[in-house]
Amino acid sequence: MGEKKKKKRNPIPLRVNIIFFTVFLLFSALILRLGFVQIVYGDEYKKEVEKKEDVIINTSVPRGEIYDRTGKSIVSNVGKNAITYTNWKKDKPEKMRETAEELAKIIKMDSEKDLKKITERDKKDYWILINPDEAKKKIPEEENDQLKLKYKDDNKEYQKAYDELLRDRVTEKDLNTLTDLDLETLAIYREFQSGYYYTPHIVKNEGVTDKEIAIISENLEKLPGVDTVRDWDREYEFGGTLKTVLGNVSTSQRGVPAEEKDSYLAKGYSMNDRVGLSYLEKQYEDVLKGQKKKVKYIKDKKDEIVNSEVLSNGAAGNDLVLTIDMKLQLEVEKIIEEELKKTKYGYAGTQYLDRAFVVLMDPHTGEVLTMAGKQLGKDDKTGKQVVQDFALGNITTSYNVGSAVKGAMVLTGYKEGVIRPYSVLRDEVIKIKDSPDFKSHSSSLWGNMNDLTALKRSSNVYMAKIALAIGKESYTRPGQTLNVDPAAWDKVRNSFSEFGLGVRTGIDLPNEMAGFKGQDTAVPGNLMFLSIGQYDTYTNMQLVQYASTIANGGYRIQPRLLKEIRESAQGDEKLGPIVQEIQPKVLNKLDLEPGWIEQVQTGFRMVMQPGGTGGVFIGAPYSPAGKTGTAQAFYDGPLRTNYNVPPPEVMNLSLITYAPSDNPEVAMAVLVPWVYTTNNGPSPNLTIGKRVMDKYFELKNNKEKE
């Protein structure tokens, strides 16, 4: 019985042994695995544990370039050497100073530009930095204790007060101990400090030699944070031509505009990125900027870089191909300059004349072929007369344009039902009670006439009677009082806006103005002046949009300067592949009955024929049509200094034209404000317009012969 009990106990130790053996094997496997991980992956896991953060550094790329419609370069980039510094946040002032001193031994900062930036405060701060022991002695311990007691609850204010006191104690004698090397170092150190964390900041990009680049590249280990890169400058192939329209780009020192900082940072920009500041450069910033190169730097807990990875190689900005024809642009500018000077110095009463504008546009696509403006001025240094680019004035300045608007007025009369094609009205002197006589420019116009004759001979009275009829009023006798429906103002202005008059044209440029509306609508006579272009003001770009609307049969087309967006050219390519071809945009279509706009087109053709106000175009082989304009206006230019007296009265001259009249391919607007102060004077609007149209078709014919 006892033996049986012994036999029953035997399996228990066996099972325990099996369990122990299994545990032994598992522990052995675990130890082997740990050893394997330690030996094979130990360093890698150690780095992962010690890794602190990833820092992504963006490096700028070349900006897109700008070409004209024929592929001529207008704005290009010129590469140049540059030296940058990246502040990795861990860099202490003394370490930065040491790096700056090493760099100062290699490069020379521009004494005229960089050393002049150094302020007395900069020098004092630098003297304190390199002479800490002497600086400390300038504030006795007892005085320092009093400061601490005074600001015991605000350490930040204490430090601020201490620093200010210390600066005040640094003498001129102390500053005179700074050597040339110290000042060179300070100029560099100052640039180091003005950058942003983790963002390459340009220290020097003017006159950096290849030798300096080579020496720096060989000594990068002694220059932490310093690097050499290629920077660029914008080069304008045609000098000042169109410069105001092309716009400007910021420097790396200025970076993004402070007032738009949040917007740019939200888009991924760095504070010192170069951006378009105005006009085309600003309008197409997203196209021109390119994609920056992105490199991820991996840092450990000691703030040391342990690895890097290129996330994106970046890409140069796309190029803009403009609608502008630079050959034509230069010819038009030459004509404007010649005629402006000829009129200014060849006639009496032209003391206020100083500017003229011309725009040529395809009336079917809105492509602006030429956008020219010139302004006479004086050189600030020499006092000599200079001719300045003022192409921007086509959209940023507005004037009374006179009779050029009469085509829109006739069509407004049709739409409002107050006249029909061939309606006859009497041209006569309108004598309103307590108002000056209202009449056409010549008594030879007086008498009955239809709409075509009114356009051809530019009848003011015909247009005024249309306006009065829209206001539910009519002129019946001399000395009568007018009672005009106030709604007439909106009816006329809204109708004009459908042609592009008095509203922004939508051109692809910022800061376009809409013009100014006369405010005194309580005076009925002012409605008559509105009807002949002598009350509200319009830009020259609005005039060419209006001319195009008549020319193309009633479609208001958005003017534009951008024809195509292309990839940056590679190798020997002149232009890169097309990214986007810009399509015409119709802003609105006139709601007209059949035959109405054709009637006005007929009137515009008659303007250019014998007896018309555009007789200078008689015999032109390209069959032009259009409308001239003369406006009695008030001078409001740079020579007006006394605003307490009424401004001088002047004459503004304008012209809208398109050709050929049966199948228009080009529309033109000419505007010359403040031409003369006398009763009669020269007509630079006509001479400029005729010469420009002649030149357009001359260049076109020459190109077709090539």
Token pair recorded at residue 632: 């009695």
Q: Is 568 a catalytic residue?
A: no
Check: CB of residue 74 under 8 Å from CB of residue 238: yes
Question: Does residue 477 sit in helix, strand or coil?
Answer: coil
CB atoms within 10 A of CB 54: 12
Query: How far, in Å, CA of 630 to CA of 402, rounded?
Result: 5
Check: CB of residue 468 under 8 Å from CB of residue 425: no
Torsion, Cα of 93, 98, 99, 100 (10° steps)? 80
- 354-392 as b/e: b if 16+ CB within 10 A: bbbbbbbbbbbbbbbbbbbbbbbeeeeeeeeeeebbbbb
Token pair recorded at residue 131: 């002479």
- Helices 460-470, 487-497: axis angle to 10 degrees equals 120
For residue 436, say if its preceding peptide bond is cis, omega within 30 degrees of 0: no
Widest CA span in the chain: 154
Amino acid at 200: P
Three-class SS string for 167-224?
HHHCCHHHHCCCCHHHHHHHHHHHHHHHCCECCCEEEECCCCCHHHHHHHHHCHHHCC
Which of 509, 562, 59, 579 minimizes the C-alpha distance to 274? 59
Chain CA centroid to CA 684, Å: 31
Question: Does residue 83 sit in helix, strand or coil?
Answer: strand
Query: How far, in Å, CA of 109 to CA of 115, rounded?
Result: 7
- 32 secondary structure, DSSP code: H
Residue among 403, 531, 548, 683 flagged as catalytic: 403
Torsion, Cα of 596, 607, 472, 479 (10° steps)? -160
Query: How far, in Å, CA of 81 to CA of 216, rounded?
Result: 12
- 260 secondary structure, DSSP code: G
Sign of the Cα torsion 109, 110, 112, 113 reads negative
CB atoms within 10 A of CB 243: 17
Q: What is the DSSP string of 333-396?
A: HHHHHHHHHHHHHHSTT-TT--EEEEEEE-TTT-BEEEEEEEEEEE-TTT--EEEEE-TTHHHH
Q: Which residues pair with 226 in a beta bridge?
A: 85
Residues with a catalytic annotation lie at 403
